[in-house]
C-alpha cells in the first residue's frame, strides 16, 4: 500500500491496535510493542512491523524517545495527532493527558514499562478478554453513576472456563505512607464493580508491608511478586490478605464460582 508524502492512511485494524496500545501504555518499548503485535494479531514479520511503526513516527502520530532507562531499546509515546487519528477510528476515551510536549517523566517510565509486561503476561495466558487501561478508568470516573472506587492501573477481564472474572490490577513499585494505604483500603472496600484485586510488587519486603496494610480487609485482595507473576502467570503463588498462599488461578476460580452461584 502506497502513501503520499506527508499523509498516512489508517484503515487497517493493525494500525489501530498499535496506536491504542501505545496510548494505553503511555510509554512502551519497541520490543514490547512487537510482542503485543505478535499476540494481538499474529505479526511475525519484523521488517513489516518496523515499517508500520516508522511511518507512524514520520507522520507525527508517535514520538520516539531514546532514554537510558529503556536499556538500549527504543521508547515510544503517542502525540496529539495520534490521539486525533484514533478518534477518527472510533476511540474517544484517551483525553489530552496523553500529549507529551515535555521530556519523559523518569518516575513514570519504569511504572509504565512494568505494567506493559504485566498486560503482556496476561495476553500470553490466552484467557484475557479485555484490558481496561487507566486512561479509560479516569474517564469513567467522571460519572458518579458508573465510577470505580479508585483509578486502578488496569482492569483485566479473564475468561476462566466460561466464567468471566474482572480483576483490578495495581503495580506497586514503591511503598506509600500508612495514611495513604488507609485511604486506598477504604476506597477498595467501598468498590461495587470489581470483586477481585491483585497487587504486584517487586520485593518481598514490599509485599509483606502491603499484607499488613490490608490485613483482614473485607475485599478479595491478592498480593504477588511481579517477577513470579510474569514467569508463572495464572500459576503464580499469591497471598490473600490473611497470609494464606494459593495459586492465582485457584483464587480467581473462587471469585468466578461466587459470581455464578456454583
Report pLDDT digits (tens) over 241-259. 999 999 999 999 988 655 5
Query: Does residue 203 contact residue 183 with C-beta atoms inside 8 Å?
Result: no
The separation between CA 70 and the C-alpha centre of its own chain, rounded to angstroms, equals 18
pLDDT of residue 255: 86
**236 domain residue, yes or no:** yes
Report the CATH number at residue 197: 3.40.91
Mean pLDDT of the chain: 88
The sign of the torsion formed by the CA atoms of 44, 154, 74, 56 equals positive
Last residue of one domain, picked from the residues 69, 103, 137: 103
pTM of the model: 0.90
Burial readout 14-30 (b: 16 or more C-beta within 10 A, e: otherwise)? bbbebbbbbbbbbbbbb
Is residue 20, in this structure, part of any structural domain at all?
Answer: yes
Range(s) of the domain holding residue 22: 13-103
Per-residue pLDDT of 196-208, as tens digits, reads 999 999 999 999 9
Q: Same domain, yes or no, for 94 and 128?
A: no
pLDDT digits (tens, 9 = 90+) for 139-157: 899 988 889 999 999 999 9
Question: Is 129 in the same domain as 155?
Answer: yes
Does any domain span residue 4? Answer: no
Q: Count Cβ atoms below 10 Å from residue 95 Cβ, excluding itself.
A: 13
Q: Which of 103, 136, 158 is the last residue of a domain?
A: 103
Q: What total number of domains does the chain contain?
A: 2
Amino acid at each position: 500500500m502506497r502513501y503520499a508524502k506527508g499523509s498516512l492512511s489508517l484503515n487497517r485494524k493493525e494500525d489501530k491496535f498499535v496506536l491504542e496500545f501505545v496510548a494505553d501504555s503511555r510509554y512502551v518499548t519497541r520490543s514490547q510493542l512487537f510482542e503485543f503485535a505478535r499476540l494481538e494479531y499474529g505479526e511475525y514479520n519484523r521488517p513489516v512491523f518496523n515499517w508500520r511503526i516508522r511511518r507512524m513516527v514520520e507522520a507525527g502520530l508517535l514520538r520516539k524517545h531514546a532514554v537510558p532507562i529503556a536499556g538500549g531499546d527504543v521508547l515510544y509515546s503517542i502525540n496529539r495527532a495520534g490521539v486525533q487519528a484514533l478518534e477518527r477510528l472510533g476511540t474517544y476515551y484517551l483525553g489530552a493527558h496523553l500529549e507529551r510536549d515535555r521530556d519523559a517523566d523518569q518516575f513514570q517510565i519504569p511504572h509504565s514499562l512494568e505494567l506493559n509486561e504485566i498486560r503482556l503476561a496476561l495476553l500470553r495466558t490466552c484467557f484475557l478478554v479485555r484490558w481496561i487501561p487507566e486512561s479509560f478508568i479516569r474517564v469513567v470516573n467522571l460519572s458518579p453513576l458508573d465510577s470505580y472506587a479508585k483509578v486502578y492501573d488496569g482492569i483485566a477481564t479473564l475468561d476462566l472456563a466460561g466464567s468471566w472474572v474482572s480483576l483490578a490490577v495495581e503495580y506497586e513499585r514503591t511503598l506509600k505512607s500508612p495514611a495513604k494505604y488507609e485511604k486506598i483500603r477504604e476506597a477498595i472496600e467501598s468498590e461495587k464493580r470489581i470483586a477481585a484485586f491483585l497487587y504486584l510488587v517487586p520485593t518481598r519486603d514490599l509485599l509483606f508491608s502491603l499484607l499488613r496494610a490490608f490485613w483482614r480487609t473485607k475485599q478479595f485482595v491478592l498480593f504477588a511478586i511481579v517477577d513470579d507473576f510474569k514467569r508463572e502467570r495464572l500459576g503464580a503463588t499469591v497471598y490473600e490478605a490473611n497470609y494464606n498462599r494459593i495459586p492465582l488461578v485457584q483464587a480467581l476460580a473462587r471469585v468466578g464460582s461466587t459470581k455464578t452461584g456454583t
